[in-house]
Amino acid sequence: MSVLPILTLGDPRLRLRGEPVESFGKLLHHLIDDLTDTMRHAPGVGLAAPQLGEALDVAVVEVGDRLLELVNPRIVRAEGDDRDLEGCLSIPGFVAYVTRREHVWVVAQNRLGRKYKVAGSGLLGRALQHELDHLQGKLYIDYLASPDELIPVGRGGDEDEDADAVDAELERRGIDPERAKAVSRG
């Protein structure tokens, strides 16, 4: 189990579709453990295999104290719309408003191949949709009409010289800087 480097925007492997998983053995278990360790280290609320350079239909999502291992996940039902700030561990330093479905129901398998169903709304629903998009080679910026919609939030830490300018820009847009930094990332 390891914390691995997360691929960032521009790496073509982020655009690969995850191949269906057919073998539920040690290799899959190692990948799920690496995804979990790397997600928690970031920290983030989700991480998909393509972000570690593995074109497989595998992701993890952790909201609250519930860790979901998502193997071959599919959205089977969706309702409503919800617009909120969203970020991605593969696109550090930015967030944007993205409209997602408000409630989703996902069918997936766990590391042993056992099928289960999970329903999510709010942060969990958004994280599920974000990670499943990664498995299609899709990033949240694909939903934006223009790069101008990207909102810089800085990379955190006191070493960020532009932190005051970033906060001023967020406030100009009516966004609480603390909330922008705490937004869901996966």
Residues with a catalytic annotation lie at 131
Cβ atoms of 41 and 60 closer than 8 Å: no
State which H helix or E strand residue 178 sits in: helix 177-181
Report the nearest approach of Ni ion to the CB of residue 48 (Å). 7
Count of CA atoms in the C-beta half-sphere (13 A) of 183: 28
Smaller CB distance to Ni ion: residue 46 or 154?
A: 46
Please name which of 55, 53, 63 lies closest in space to residue 21, comparing C-alpha atoms.
55
| Residue whose pair of structure tokens reads 């983030």 in the numeric block | 44
Query: Which C-beta is closer to Ni ion: that of 133 or that of 167?
Result: 133
* Distance spanning both ends of the chain, measured CA to CA: 19
| Smallest separation (angstroms) from Ni ion to the CB of 39 | 10
Q: How many C-alpha atoms does 55 have within 13 Å on its Cβ side?
A: 11
Of 39 and 88, which CB lies nearer to Ni ion in the complex structure? 88
Residue 185 DSSP label: B
Binding site for Ni ion (CB under 5 A): 88, 186
Query: Which C-beta is closer to Ni ion: that of 108 or that of 183?
Result: 183
Could you tell me the smallest distance in angstroms from the CB atom of residue 179 to Ni ion? 19
- Chain residue at closest Cβ approach to Ni ion: 88
Burial letters 9-47, b for 16+ CB under 10 A, else e:
eeeeebebebeebeeeeeebeebbebbbbbbeebebbbb
Q: How far is the CB of 91 from Ni ion (least distance, A)?
A: 7
